[in-house]
Each structure stands twice: as C-alpha cells, then as structure tokens.
Amino acid sequence: MPMKVSVILPFTSGRPEDLAVNTWYSNADLLSTGGDEFVDWVRDLYVGDVAETYDGIGRLIAGQVNKAGCILRSVGFNPATGKETSEANEEVIELGNQYDAENLPSEVALCLSYDAGFLLGVPKGRTRGRVFIGPLCNINGTTATNPSRPGATYISDLVEFAGVSAAARNAAGAAISLYSPTDGVLRTIRAFSCDNEWDTQRRRGVEPTSRTIQTVAVTP
C-alpha cells in the first residue's frame, strides 16, 4: 500500500493550531526498502544529507518554528479513498540553524512545485502539485531591489537537490509521487521547479522573472 510522509513544523507559540505542514507521497509500501528510501529522502530534504551536498530546507526556516521539536510522520495511505491505512510512525527531527537571524513575516513562503510531465488525456491540474516552504528567514537575494526576491542560490540549491536526490532514491525503490485526489491516484514526479518570487497567503505581489527547473532522471 502507498504511503505519505508529513513534515510538521510547530511554532514557538506552543498553540496546537500554530504549525506548518508539508506532505509528500510515495507509491512504495510503508514497510518496504523503497518506503525506507522515501522517508530518508524527505528527511534529507529538510535536515540535509550525510554527504553534505545540501544543508536542508530547515536552514531556510525562520525562528518562529520550534526547530528542535519538528516531526517526520510516516503512514500508509490509500489514494483511492484518501484515508490512512496504518498506524503512523512519528520521528522527532531537528532543523539546522537559519541562514539569517532576521525572520520574514510568517505568511511569506517559497512555492516548491513538482509535476508528472505530460500525460495524454490527463488535465494538467492533475499532474502537478506544490508545497509551501516557510515561515522563512531573510533569504532576500539583495536589499537593493524593491520589492525584494528570494536569493537565486537558495532556490537553485533546493531545486537541484530535490530532483537529483529523488532520482537516486527512486532507483532504490522510493517511487516519489504526487497525489491527485480528483483521480484518486499517485503519479511519479518527473520535475521540480521554483520561481524567484515570494508566495504568501495574500498571493503573489510581483511577477516572477525566472524559474529554476530540475528534472528527475529515470533509471533505465
């Protein structure tokens, strides 16, 4: 049975409703080697990998989050019904120190998008998805521009690691996927992307001027 992993970021306010959640999906079985590879991929994405090729999303996250008390929650999942199919496993993870001591407003986020590529007869809206990464520390590319934009290096490092590491984990069975609740199916992610703009609860303020894309290589 497929699975999902949620990264739960509790705020320092301590209120149960104050948290951010990013959820990822896999067509691998929860108790399989592929399932372990998937969990490892999500963990590496947020806390950094052992090889230190990426510092982790956690270093982008601002001080509003209790970084020592974040949760990696993995559970079996039935795409057809949207319901969980097993007891959840919760692992405490600690996010790295933020790149900058200044915190941006808590509604500011980066939108990390992903898609399954072109599928004949399937509407585009069912072949793509996104997670909103935040709240963020000050990762402005420059303070000389108004309005500011996220730094290009932060975006490129994130997108490249997501795509390259997903390909490596998929080769070991991770089956990293996106979920279409309309169809009740999972589809393999073929690419990650992120625009050079902030995304907030009030929606976008400026138009993006560039998009960073990393395809997920398929093992023959």
Please report the pLDDT score of residue 149 as a whole number. Answer: 86
Mean pLDDT on 155-163? 98
Domain carrying residue 109:
3-215
In a domain, residue 153? The reply is yes
pLDDT of residue 120: 84
pTM for the whole thing?
0.94
Is 194 in contact with 110 (CB distance < 8 Å)?
yes
- Predicted confidence (pLDDT) at residue 118 exceeds the cutoff of 90: no
Q: At 84, is the secondary structure helix, strand, or coil?
A: strand
Q: Comparing 200 with 138, which gets the higher pLDDT?
A: 138
Window from 33-37, 52-56, 120-124, 141-145 with minimum mean pLDDT: 141-145
Q: CA 81 from chain center: how many Å?
A: 23
User: Looking at the 3D structure of the chain, how many domains does it have?
Assistant: 1
Identify whether 220 is part of a domain. no
Evaluate if residue 191 carries a pLDDT over 60.
yes
Over residues 37-53, mean pLDDT:
95
Whether residue 55 is contained in a domain is answered as yes
Only one residue has tokens 């001080």, namely 63
Alpha carbons 55 and 59: distance in angstroms, whole number: 7
Query: Mind listing the pLDDT tens digit for each residue in 1-23?
Result: 899 999 999 999 988 889 999 99
CB 75 within 8 A of CB 30: yes
**Domain-located, residue 82:** yes
Determine the pLDDT at residue 201.
63
The mean of the pLDDT values for the chain is 92
Tell me the pLDDT band of 207, cut-offs 50, 70 and 90.
Answer: confident
Q: pLDDT-based confidence at 146, cuts 50/70/90?
A: low
Asked whether residue 20 is assigned to any structural domain, the reply reads yes
- The answer to whether position 198 is within a domain reads yes
Is residue 92 in some structural domain?
Answer: yes
Mutual angle of helices 33-47 and 152-171, in 10-degree steps: 170
